């Protein structure tokens, strides 16, 4: 069979062109480092490459999220750890501090001054922000969550601060006569009645126990409750006593105990047994009045301050209703117009866990801490109430009142049966370590994906060079043959 000259040269041209285009592609692979410059050239690996790319992008974005969230969690946890240690110091201080008014203030102990400084620090920690984002305001990240200590405690011309709320509550609880909204009376000459005032303030009679001979004790009954002590012909004897248990505004109780004595004057907590029922009753009434006033000025005052703290730190804050606190009978909601709202952040939903972050495919965590979480509020409240209480050196009940206040603070900061700040910190820490492990597994995933991507996308330099060499040899041979063939023509030999 003959081979036409044209087909010979065409075939040669075609194969050389083919080798040259292969060379160009290999050269591209060598310079760019990538096997393919289009998805089509990837062939069946396209889907894999696309989904790996997506996975890497996605995982990187999860890691970004984790880093951001971890920073927030870590900063929150650090702030809360500091707040917790201050709360512990306040608790220890409450248990150990003695009532010595410091020379500087004259109205407060040095522990109270320290508590005030702690309050400042706590507020500033709660107002901490990360990247222009307040951490403890819930979803409202742009408003300073907690008002300044000054505003919180002192209020301003139109808004009542904690001090005002405590004052008002103290007046309401103690009453104008300092009897804790109780009154004594003698319905008959030989009997004494103790009666509560209407409303929520002051002492509330809960029970009474007595071993006074000849005395008939009834109540407390009725509403408002009242109790009655009817002395009889048989008179109490020395050492016999009667105890009245009363509920205090903050839910604690106290007891006023009066012991019968033959001494006259009887002394604190005692009443003189008179000659008959009538004088005994009169003595009893006056001793009861004195004891209740003392109890009111000490324990009730402390309990009232604690409850005022609860009122102020509630949402909405509770205020004594009416224009005259002494005669007030109920509380009302404070409004933004008349009372300082200490917490300015978001109040929707349950405090804490207000943010949701997606940290993996279908994997979400809820995180966050809010200044109005009860554990945090307890610490703030304790520091605030202690720091605003003022005492007078001349007040004989001051020491007892101080002690009643510090005891209550210490009890609240035990966090018995409620979530503590430590609990919140621990939870944040666990979340952070979970995020760490999620991050690690994401990083592993990314590196696996990337190595797979590399296998599919990257040109193997060795392979490419080998192919290049082979092709170059082939091309050289082709050129040589072309040149030899061109000489191989009958024309040359004629």
Partner 1 sequence: MSLSSAISTALSGLNASQAGLDLVSRNIANANTAGYTRKVQQTTTQMAGSQGIGVSQLADTRLVNRHLLQQMRTESASTSFLSVYNNFLSQIDSSFGTPDSDSSISGAVSTFATKMQAVATTPDDDAARQALINSASTLASKLNSASTQVQNLRKQAEQSIADGVTQANSLMQSIAKLNTQIAQTKASGQSTGDLEDQRDAAINSLSNLMGVKTVERDDGTVAVFTTGGQLLVDNAAAQLSFDQHANLDAGSAYSTDPTKRSVGTITLSQGTTSVDLIASGAIQSGSIAAYIKLRDTDLPQAQNQLDELASQLALSLSSDTVSGTAVSSGGGAGFELDLSAFVSGNTTGATGTQVNFSYTDGTGTHNVSVVPVSDPSLLPLPNSATTNANDTVVGVYIDPNASASAQMASIVSALQAVLPPSLVVSNPSGNVLSIVDDGTSSATVNSASTNVVENADTLKDGLGSGLSLFVDGNGQKTYTGALGTPSQITGFAGRIQVNAAIANDTTSLVLYQTGADIGDDTRPNELLGRLTDTSRVYSSSTGIGSAATPYSGSIDAFARRVVSYQSSQATSANTDYTAQKATSDTLQSKFDSETGVSVDQEMSNLIVLQNAYAANARVISTIQELFQTLLSIGR
User: What's the min distance (Å) between Cβ of 15 and partner 1?
Assistant: 10
User: What's the min distance (Å) between Cβ of 135 and partner 1?
Assistant: 10
CB under 8 Å to 468, separation ≥6 — which residues? 23, 26, 27, 30
Asked whether position 257 contacts partner 1 by CB under 8 A, the answer is no
Strands 270-272 and 253-261: what pairing?
A: parallel
Asked whether position 487 contacts partner 1 by CB under 8 A, the answer is no
Taking the CA atoms of residue 332, residue 337, residue 341 and residue 347 in that order, the dihedral angle to the nearest 10 degrees is 90
Q: For residues 223 and 492, which CB has a smaller minimum distance to partner 1 in the complex? A: 492
Strands 270-272 and 318-320: what pairing?
A: unpaired
Q: For residues 457 and 468, which CB has a smaller minimum distance to partner 1 in the complex? A: 457
Asked whether position 3 contacts partner 1 by CB under 8 A, the answer is yes
Asked if 295 and 282 count as a contact pair (C-beta separation under 8 A), the reply is: no
Binding mask 87-126 vs partner 1 (x if CB under 8 A, - otherwise)?
Answer: ----------------------------------------
Pick the binder of partner 1 from 103, 275, 337, 491 (CB under 8 A): 491
Strands 241-247 and 253-261: what pairing?
A: antiparallel
Q: For residues 61 and 218, which CB has a smaller minimum distance to partner 1 in the complex? A: 61
User: What's the min distance (Å) between Cβ of 314 and partner 1?
Assistant: 21
Q: For residues 1 and 393, which CB has a smaller minimum distance to partner 1 in the complex? A: 1
Least Cα distance to 351 among 372, 375, 376 occurs for: 372
Asked whether position 228 contacts partner 1 by CB under 8 A, the answer is no
User: What's the min distance (Å) between Cβ of 5 and partner 1?
Assistant: 5
Binding mask 25-64 vs partner 1 (x if CB under 8 A, - otherwise)?
Answer: -------x-x-xxxxxxxxx-xx-xxx-xx--xx-xxx-x
Pick the binder of partner 1 from 84, 93, 94, 137 (CB under 8 A): 137
Residues numbered 341-370 forming contacts with partner 1, rule: CB under 8 A:
346, 355-358, 361-362, 364
CB under 8 Å to 14, separation ≥6 — which residues? none
Q: For residues 267 and 349, which CB has a smaller minimum distance to partner 1 in the complex? A: 349
Pick the binder of partner 1 from 139, 178, 290, 422 (CB under 8 A): 139
Binding mask 439-478 vs partner 1 (x if CB under 8 A, - otherwise)?
Answer: ------------------x---------------------
**# of chain residues touching partner 1 (CB under 8 A):** 60
Binding mask 143-172 vs partner 1 (x if CB under 8 A, - otherwise)?
Answer: ------------------------------
Phi and psi for 370 in degrees, rounded to 5? -125, 145
User: What's the min distance (Å) between Cβ of 12 and partner 1?
Assistant: 11
Integer Cα distance of 213 and 223 in angstroms: 28
Cα first-last separation, the chain: 23
CB under 8 Å to 494, separation ≥6 — which residues? none
User: What's the min distance (Å) between Cβ of 423 and partner 1?
Assistant: 24
Pick the binder of partner 1 from 138, 202, 317, 334 (CB under 8 A): 138
Token pair, residue 301, equals: 């005052």
Name 254's bridge partners. 246
Q: For residues 40 and 393, which CB has a smaller minimum distance to partner 1 in the complex? A: 40
Pick the binder of partner 1 from 31, 104, 131, 157 (CB under 8 A): 131
Q: For residues 134 and 312, which CB has a smaller minimum distance to partner 1 in the complex? A: 134
CB under 8 Å to 317, separation ≥6 — which residues? 165, 311, 333, 334, 339, 340, 341, 342
Number of CB atoms found within 10 A of residue 454's CB: 11
Q: For residues 39 and 479, which CB has a smaller minimum distance to partner 1 in the complex? A: 39
Give the range of 96-104, 134-142, 168-176, 375-383 binding partner 1 by CB under 8 A. 134-142
User: What's the min distance (Å) between Cβ of 78 and partner 1?
Assistant: 20
User: What's the min distance (Å) between Cβ of 343 and partner 1?
Assistant: 14
Q: For residues 189 and 485, which CB has a smaller minimum distance to partner 1 in the complex? A: 485
Token pair, residue 59, equals: 């995982």
Least Cα distance to 69 among 346, 429, 367 occurs for: 367
Pick the binder of partner 1 from 85, 96, 98, 142 (CB under 8 A): 142
Q: For binding to partner 1 (CB under 8 A), which residues are involved?
A: 1-7, 9-11, 14, 32, 34, 36-44, 46-47, 49-51, 53-54, 57-58, 60-62, 64-65, 68-69, 131-133, 137-142, 346, 355-358, 361-362, 364, 457, 489-491, 494
């Amino acid at each position: 069979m003959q081979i036409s000259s044209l087909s010979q040269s065409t075939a040669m041209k075609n194969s050389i062109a083919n080798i040259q285009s292969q060379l160009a592609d290999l050269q591209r692979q060598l310079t760019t480092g990538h096997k393919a410059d289009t998805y089509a050239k990837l062939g069946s690996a396209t889907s894999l490459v696309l989904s790996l790319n997506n996975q890497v992008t996605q995982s990187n974005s999860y890691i970004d999220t984790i880093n951001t969230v971890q920073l927030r969690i870590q900063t929150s946890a650090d702030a809360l750890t500091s707040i917790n240690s201050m709360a512990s110091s306040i608790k220890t201080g409450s248990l150990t501090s003695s009532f010595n008014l410091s020379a500087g203030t004259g109205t407060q102990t040095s522990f109270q001054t320290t508590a005030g400084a702690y309050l400042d620090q706590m507020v500033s920690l709660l107002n901490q922000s990360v990247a222009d984002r307040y951490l403890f305001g819930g979803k409202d990240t742009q408003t300073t969550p907690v008002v300044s200590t000054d505003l919180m405690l002192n209020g301003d011309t139109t808004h009542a601060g904690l001090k005002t709320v405590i004052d008002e509550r103290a007046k309401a609880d103690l009453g104008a006569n300092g009897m804790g909204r109780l009154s004594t009376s003698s319905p008959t000459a030989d009997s004494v009645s103790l009666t509560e005032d209407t409303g929520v303030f002051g002492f509330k009679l809960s029970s009474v126990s007595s071993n006074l001979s000849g005395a008939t004790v009834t109540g407390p009954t009725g509403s408002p409750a009242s109790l009655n002590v009817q002395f009889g012909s048989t008179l109490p004897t020395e050492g016999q006593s009667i105890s009245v248990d009363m509920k205090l505004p903050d839910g604690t109780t106290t007891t006023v105990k009066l012991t019968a004595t033959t001494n006259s004057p009887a002394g604190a907590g005692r009443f003189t047994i008179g000659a008959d029922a009538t004088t005994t009753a009169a003595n009893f009434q006056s001793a009861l009045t004195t004891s209740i006033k003392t109890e009111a000025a000490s324990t009730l005052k402390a309990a009232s301050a604690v409850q005022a703290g609860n009122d102020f730190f509630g949402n909405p804050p509770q205020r004594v209703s009416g224009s005259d606190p002494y005669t007030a009978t109920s509380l009302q909601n404070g409004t933004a117009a008349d009372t300082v709202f200490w917490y300015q952040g978001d109040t929707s939903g349950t405090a804490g866990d207000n943010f949701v972050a997606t940290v993996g495919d279908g994997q979400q965590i809820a995180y966050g801490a809010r200044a109005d979480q009860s554990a945090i509020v307890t610490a703030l409240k304790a520091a605030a109430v202690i720091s605003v209480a003022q005492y007078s050196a001349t007040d004989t009940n001051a020491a007892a009142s101080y002690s009643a206040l510090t005891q209550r603070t210490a009890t609240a900061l035990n966090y018995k049966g409620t979530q503590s700040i430590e609990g919140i910190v621990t939870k944040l820490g666990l979340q952070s370590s979970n995020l760490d492990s999620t991050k690690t597994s994401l990083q592993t995933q990314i590196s696996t994906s990337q190595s797979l991507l590399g296998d599919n996308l990257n040109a193997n330099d060795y392979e490419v060079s080998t192919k290049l060499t082979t092709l170059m040899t082939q091309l050289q041979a082709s050129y040589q043959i072309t040149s030899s063939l061109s000489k191989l023509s009958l024309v040359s030999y004629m």
